């Protein structure tokens, strides 16, 4: 099943805007300066295979009680999956599962963490909206959400948010193709040639941000077919002429290992390598709450950074937890067997989806503000042409991301 549906430029926000307009507060202009006093999550360590919450309790020890809400609620952008592994790492395997929720002590920090599922778990709302209107399924307003920078830009006027740490260095969004029909589909020019040969691109919507970007760059609009929602039949039966939207750590595994009518290698190209270098798994805060939550974020963000490292180095406990969560998903089309999560981890670790920032030299989770400025300058004209009406036309990268809470010492080992 397709996860994390990408933003449609012509997104229907009328209903949520009507319910949430009164909640949108005035936005302060400046972001906080980099904290001079940083509470480290814990010292570097060798992770042993553990069960339950024992690892989290002994390694995530920074005091959050008195600085953070007694329960920190995080709204994720889809059903539980390996991409969210760092958040589950903070609890470990001893949390309480309920439909669309996983809750437990955040290490021995003195507070709880409640991880809310997206997709059906938040009625399909863009996660930024839930910070203002609440999650209508869980009936709670989260403190933090996970979302993409595309969403942040698109909703920057109606529902402004600030990204404080990214769980991924690059977006795993890909275009999947049959390598027996096409080879070296790794440039926009190559996709234009494929379209002229009759290839069709099966995507969620023609108004999706990256699709509009590709059309602007010359891929014929008539070559796109909208409506993709996880159904891979068109790709399988398309005689090699269907290029399918997907994720390198999801649909690729499904096609190669869980689709008997295919079950062979596929080729794929990352959208970020075509020029739209977004961040997709960004932990965000409502902009008007940034100052109030800063004491919490100064302590919490370094813990999330370290949890990302811990999870990818030793993912067994979390992946077993995700597999146990399957009956609680409330969505028959979504499952996370351990093998699928292991595949996702391998892709994230070996294909530069998760890693140190700044070309491997910087800390985990930090933003490249210059890179974000390019994304902003690329997408604003597209949104303006579509008359989206939900974005701030003079938006800058510094308004939507900050490295103020990032601990520069938290890095993957070289």
For residue 66, give both structure tokens.
């008195």
Rounded average pLDDT over 75-88 = 97
Neighbours of 330 (CB within 10 A): 14
State in Å, rounded, how far the first CA of the chain is from the last one. 35
Q: Compute the distance between CA of residue 128 and CA of residue 154 in angstroms, rounded to an integer.
A: 10
Pick the CATH number of 35-170+278-399 from 3.40.309.10, 3.40.190.10, 3.20.20.105, 3.90.1300.10: 3.40.190.10
Report the top-level CATH class of 173-274.
Answer: alpha beta
Residue 8: pLDDT band (50, 70, 90) is: low
CB 342 within 8 A of CB 316: no
Q: Do domains 35-170+278-399 and 173-274 have the same CATH topology?
A: yes
Q: In the prediction, which pLDDT does 5 show?
A: 53
Q: Compute the distance between CA of residue 354 and CA of residue 352 in angstroms, rounded to an integer.
A: 5
Residue 375: pLDDT band (50, 70, 90) is: very high
Neighbours of 116 (CB within 10 A): 23
Q: Compute the distance between CA of residue 378 and CA of residue 19 in angstroms, rounded to an integer.
A: 30
Rounded average pLDDT over 265-277 = 97
Backbone angles phi, psi at 243, to 5 degrees: -105, 120
Chain CA centroid to CA 229, Å:
18
Residue with tokens 């670790």: 349
Report which of 42, 93, 47 is spatially closest to residue 63, judged by C-alpha positions: 42
Rounded average pLDDT over 381-410 = 95
pLDDT greater than 70 at residue 17: no
pLDDT greater than 80 at residue 408: yes
Q: Where are the domains of the chain?
A: 35-170+278-399, 173-274
pLDDT greater than 60 at residue 10: no
Q: Compute the distance between CA of residue 254 and CA of residue 331 in angstroms, rounded to an integer.
A: 17
Q: In the prediction, which pLDDT does 3 show?
A: 54
Rounded average pLDDT over 366-386 = 96
Residue with tokens 């490295």: 403
Residue 331: pLDDT band (50, 70, 90) is: confident
* pLDDT per position as a tens digit, 108-139: 999 999 999 999 999 999 999 999 999 999 99
């Amino acid at each position: 099943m397709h996860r994390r549906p990408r933003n449609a430029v012509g997104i229907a926000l009328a209903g949520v805007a009507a319910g949430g307009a009164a909640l949108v507060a005035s936005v302060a202009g400046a972001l906080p300066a980099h904290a001079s006093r940083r509470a480290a999550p814990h010292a570097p360590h060798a992770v042993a295979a553990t069960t339950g919450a024992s690892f989290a309790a002994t390694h995530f020890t920074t005091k959050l009680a008195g600085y953070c809400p007694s329960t920190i609620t995080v709204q994720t952008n889809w059903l539980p999956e390996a991409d969210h592994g760092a958040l589950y790492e903070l609890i470990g395997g001893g949390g309480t599962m309920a439909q669309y929720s996983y809750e437990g002590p955040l290490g021995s920090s003195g507070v709880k963490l409640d991880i809310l599922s997206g997709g059906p778990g938040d009625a399909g709302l863009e996660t930024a909206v839930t910070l203002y209107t609440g999650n209508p399924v869980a009936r709670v307003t989260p403190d933090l959400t996970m979302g993409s920078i595309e969403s942040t830009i698109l909703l920057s006027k109606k529902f402004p948010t600030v990204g404080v740490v990214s769980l991924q260095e690059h977006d795993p969004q890909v275009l999947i193709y049959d390598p027996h029909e096409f080879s070296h589909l790794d440039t926009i020019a190559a996709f234009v040639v494929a379209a002229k040969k009759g290839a069709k691109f099966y995507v969620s919507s023609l108004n999706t941000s990256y699709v509009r970007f590709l059309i602007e760059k010359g891929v014929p609009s008539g070559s796109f077919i909208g409506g993709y929602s996880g159904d891979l039949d068109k790709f399988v039966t398309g005689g090699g002429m269907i290029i399918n939207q997907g994720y390198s750590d999801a649909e690729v595994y499904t096609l190669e290992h869980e689709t008997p009518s295919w079950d062979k290698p596929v080729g794929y190209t990352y959208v970020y390598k075509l020029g739209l270098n977004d961040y997709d798994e960004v932990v965000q805060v409502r902009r008007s709450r940034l100052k109030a939550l800063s004491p919490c974020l100064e302590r919490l963000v370094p813990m999330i950074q370290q949890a990302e490292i811990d999870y990818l180095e030793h993912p067994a406990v979390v992946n077993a937890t995700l597999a146990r969560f399957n009956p609680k998903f409330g969505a028959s089309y979504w499952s996370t067997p351990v093998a699928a999560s292991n595949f996702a981890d391998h892709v994230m670790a070996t294909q530069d989806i998760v890693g140190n920032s700044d070309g491997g030299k910087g800390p985990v989770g930090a933003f490249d503000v210059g890179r974000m400025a390019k994304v902003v300058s690329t997408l604003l004209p597209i949104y303006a042409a579509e008359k989206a009406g939900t974005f701030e036309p003079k938006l800058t990268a510094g308004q939507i991301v900050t490295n103020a809470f990032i601990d520069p010492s938290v890095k993957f080992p070289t």
